[in-house]
């Protein structure tokens, strides 16, 4: 009999789904008509859970899965999983660390360039036929050069370092802030976010910082100033969205590029309506290459745990 797997989120890579189906008896929780009743009846036989960073898995659900050997998160966010409880059970919780780095860093730079150069507003100007009506050069406001901007990176982990490499290629002076200075980073360390904002033309949020909330507030945005830009590819709740919306509307910052939000998929109207803001629907890792790599890591974690091994990507054991 194949081991039973409970899948809480879809995996978008067909080959990965084929492998799962070949190796395991996969139950897709998101397709079950009465999931609570199903869990009561079959929960005791589930040996592995595959979930996403946003969905995670609740402690009450974990408590209904006594045979569980691994929680494989198809993503890097684990704040929706009770890691402390999992440690008490000796239960491995894995994440796809490293698989997302390059794509997230690419999008961070893309969002910053798009915001600086008003790419989305320019695209709409052409698509809507406005260029034919207003062909004079002054019809579109001048943009801001990205090359050479002072870039402040918040969180110098994998993604932060990858962003730094890319920004440096554009001749951008780079500073960063984190919980501490890092000996292997040549870029200047700035001890506080407020100071970093004062010394930057653009702030790029890359910190995992699962417990931080609203650290980019009105004071930080004012320190960034009317010619400054904010990019967030980390956690939506790092930003006080009401303060950001007010700053954008009043022109207290020049613009923003945002991939993550506090209450997804709901995005404040002021941000949606502003031409100064470039928006994405939490898509930084959404490429075939990264999603395939993530799926491979999930499959490896499940296989290792069910073979009685410690999964290589375990965060709890």
Catalytic positions are 235, 264, 282
Q: Which residue has the tokens 């982990």?
A: 157
The Cα diameter of the chain in Å comes to: 71
Pull the structure tokens for residue 196: 């970093």
Cis peptide before 76, with omega less than 30 degrees from 0?
A: no
> What does the angle CA 28 – CA 31 – CA 33 come to, to the nearest 5 degrees?
125
d(CA 125, CA 145): 20
Q: What is the DSSP letter of 45?
A: G
Q: What is the DSSP letter of 88?
A: H
CA distances from 151 to 100, 124, 177, 228, 264 (A): 21, 28, 11, 10, 27
Pairing between strand 46-52 and 229-232? unpaired
CA 185, 189, 193, 195 dihedral sign is negative
């Amino acid at each position: 009999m194949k081991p039973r797997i409970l899948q809480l989120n879809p995996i978008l890579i067909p080959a990965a789904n084929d492998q799962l189906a070949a190796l395991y008896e996969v139950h897709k929780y998101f397709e079950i008509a009465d999931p609570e009743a199903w869990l009561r009846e079959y929960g005791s036989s589930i040996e592995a859970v595959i979930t996403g960073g946003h969905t995670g898995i609740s402690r009450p659900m974990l408590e209904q899965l006594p045979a569980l050997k691994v929680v494989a998160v198809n993503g890097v966010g684990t704040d929706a999983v009770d890691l402390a409880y999992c440690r008490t059970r000796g239960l491995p919780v894995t994440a796809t660390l490293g698989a997302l780095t390059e794509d997230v860093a690419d999008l961070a730079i893309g969002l910053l360039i798009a915001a600086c150069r008003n790419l989305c507003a320019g695209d709409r100007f052409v698509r809507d036929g406005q260029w034919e009506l207003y062909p004079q050069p002054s019809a579109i406001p001048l943009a801001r050069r990205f090359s050479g901007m002072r870039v402040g990176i918040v969180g110098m982990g994998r993604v932060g370092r990858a962003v730094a490499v890319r920004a440096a290629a554009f001749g951008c002076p780079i500073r960063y802030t984190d919980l501490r200075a890092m000996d292997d980073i040549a870029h200047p360390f700035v001890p506080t976010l407020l100071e970093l904002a004062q010394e930057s033309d653009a702030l790029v949020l890359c910190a995992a910082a699962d417990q931080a909330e609203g650290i980019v507030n009105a004071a930080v945005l004012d320190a960034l100033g009317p010619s400054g830009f904010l990019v967030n590819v980390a956690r939506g709740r790092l930003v006080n969205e009401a303060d950001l919306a007010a700053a954008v509307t009043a022109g207290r910052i020049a613009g923003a590029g945002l991939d993550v939000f506090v209450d997804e998929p709901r995005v404040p109207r002021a941000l949606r309506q502003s031409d100064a803001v470039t928006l994405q629907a939490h898509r930084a890792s959404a490429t075939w290459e990264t999603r395939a790599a993530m799926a491979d890591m999930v499959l490896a974690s499940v296989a290792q745990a069910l073979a009685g091994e410690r999964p290589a990507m375990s965060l709890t054991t």
